[in-house]
Amino acid sequence: MKKHDQAAPETLAVHAGVRKGEFLPAVPPIFQTSTFSFDSAEQGAALFAGKGKGYIYTRMGNPTVEALETAIAILEGGAKGLACGSGMAAIHTALVTLLKNGDHLVCSDAVYGPTCTLVGKFLADFGIESTMVDTSNLAAVKKAMRPNTKVIYVETPGNPTLVVSDLAAIAEVAHQAGARLVVDNTFMSPILQQPFRWGADVVVHSLTKFLNGHADVVGGMIVVKEEEDYPLFRKALNHFGGVLPPMESFLVHRGIKTLALRMRRHCESAFKIAEHLETHEQVEWVRYPSLKSHPQYELSRKQATGGGAVISFGLKGGVEAGRRMMNAVGLCTLAVSLGGVETLIQHPASMTHASMGAEARKHANIGDGLVRISVGIEDVDDVIADIDQALEAVAAAKKDHSEMHVAAT
């Protein structure tokens, strides 16, 4: 892959991680094996001692998995990737590798709900303290720092509020304090945002989303910026065990070939839908990073090359109106997850962010009326037509309700 290292992201998405092997396959084949045989007892012993080239056992490394790890490390501009069984496995492995009992973590308050629970409950049970802050507010990040802070964990744009945090400024705060910056880059993918360029030390992904792109794999990835960090992370993952199998690795690697095309389409369509929603009479507010009305619009333009696929918005009529809309959509699928080729719609307060609890949601500004759309790659006018008919159903229900109310009084 050396010759492609300087190529554009669109080129890297197609070629990164593809190594021509013995039979010159154009794509990495699936090494569907749990273990690898040794030529001799001496060679087996050498591999276990970390000497020589070869594979031992798929939890510790597999050519198909390694091809994917290489591809994503190249796309992110990092040193090495570590494929994990899910995004949550990647986040858990990364944090537990960097933190120990008695350490403190500063974490974005607007994060995927289970990340909030992982930090606030499970890491806390192991004596890792944390402070959840609005990381778009640099003063709040600085204030949250303690002498024992070892990691700042940022999700940007945040799920589901799409609040944008300044990675370069936060990296500086982290490094001045001797802490590491870990960034969840799931919402942007390396095509739109490369956190290492802004000073991050570790990037994590849910491969389940844009990188795979086809809603048929659950997976995660850790990417370390520095080669020297890799052995510790590899050892941790080998022992925690949450690795990605070869078949899933193959599928994600295949998905990545169209990542750049998909991201471009997601951005164009989501921007058009966000603009449309902003002018719709049933819609109270819209949040999308590429809209001028987004509070961190300028920062978002500096740090990323597009707004992504995800839009959050609130309807006039709050939770009830949102519920009606989700029940009225046809083409859009009522489902959690995001980043796939199909448009998905969901209600974070009762679904993806329910596990955080009401208090944490309030802190993170995740209102009960917030509806989230992940815009797919369908014809954008078909998606808009479906949204419009669902919003008409909301308006009709309101009209019926107010007529019933008038009749009853």
* One residue of 70, 108, 117, 352 binding ligand LCS per CB under 6 A: 352
- Ramachandran angles phi, psi of 269, nearest 5°: -70, -45
Q: Given the complex with ligand LCS, which of 246 and 317 has the nearer CB atom? A: 246
- 218 binding ligand LCS? (CB under 6 A): yes
Specify whether the CB–CB gap between 97 and 240 falls below 8 A: no
Q: Which one among 66, 103, 155, 248 touches ligand LCS, defined by CB under 6 A? A: 155
Residue number of the CB closest to ligand LCS reads 87
Binding letters toward ligand LCS, positions 101-120, x by CB under 6 A: -----------x--------
Catalytic residues: 59, 112, 184, 209
Minimum distance, C-beta of residue 122 to ligand LCS, in the bound complex (Å)? 14
Choices 4-12, 55-63, 82-90, 116-124 (CB under 6 A): range interacting with ligand LCS: 82-90
Q: Which stretch binds ligand LCS (CB under 6 A): 56-64, 83-91, 175-183, 291-299?
A: 83-91
Residue of 47, 67, 68, 88 that binds ligand LCS (CB under 6 A): 88
Give 86 or 312: the residue with its C-beta nearer to ligand LCS.
Answer: 86
Q: Following DSSP, what letter does each residue of 266-329 receive, concatenated?
A: HHHHHHHHHHHHHT-TTEEEEE-TTSTTSTTHHHHHHH-SS--SEEEEEETTHHHHHHHHHHH-
**Region from 51-59, 68-76, 86-94, 165-173 binding ligand LCS, contact rule CB under 6 A:** 86-94
Least distance CB 335 / ligand LCS (angstroms): 8
Residues 175-214 that bind ligand LCS (CB under 6 A): 184, 186-187, 206, 208
Query: How far is residue 87's CA from residue 331's CA, in Å, rounded to a whole number?
Result: 27
Minimum Å gap between C-beta 363 and ligand LCS is 18
Contact residue for ligand LCS among 159, 161, 189, 296 (CB under 6 A) = 159
DSSP for 212-281, please give it. T-SS----EEEEESSGGGHHHHHHHHHHH--BPPHHHHHHHHHHHTTHHHHHHHHHHHHHHHHHHHHT-T
CB nearer to ligand LCS: pick between 188 and 291: 188
Closer CB to ligand LCS, 220 or 314, in the complex: 220
- 106, containing H or E segment: strand 104-108
Q: Counting contacts by CB under 6 A, is residue 95 touching ligand LCS?
A: no
- Find residue 57's DSSP bridge partners: 35
Stretch near ligand LCS under the rule CB under 6 A, chosen from 56-64, 84-92, 129-137, 288-296: 84-92
The answer to whether 28 and 19 have CB atoms below 8 angstroms apart is yes
Amino acid at 152: I
Residue with tokens 């080729």: 341
Whole-angstrom distance, CA of residue 352 vs CA of residue 160? 9
**Tokens coding 382:** 């078909």
Q: Smallest distance, Å, CB 86 to ligand LCS?
A: 3
Options 97-105, 252-260, 336-344, 376-384: segment touching ligand LCS (CB under 6 A): 336-344
What number of CA atoms fall less than 13 Å from residue 379's CA on the CB side?
4
Are residues 217 and 65 in contact, defined by beta-carbon separation less than 8 angstroms?
Answer: no
Beta strands 149-155; 104-108: pairing state: parallel
Q: Whole-number minimum distance, CB 125 to ligand LCS, in Å?
A: 20
Which residue, 242, 207, 245, is CA-closest to 223? 207
Report the nearest approach of ligand LCS to the CB of residue 248 (Å). Answer: 11
Which of 87/376 has CB closer to ligand LCS?
A: 87
- Rounded to an integer, what distance in angstroms lies between the CA atom of residue 178 and that of residue 188? 27
Q: Does 336 bind ligand LCS (CB under 6 A)?
A: yes
Binding-site ranges for ligand LCS (CB under 6 A): 86-88, 112, 155, 159, 184, 186-187, 206, 208, 218, 220, 336-338, 352
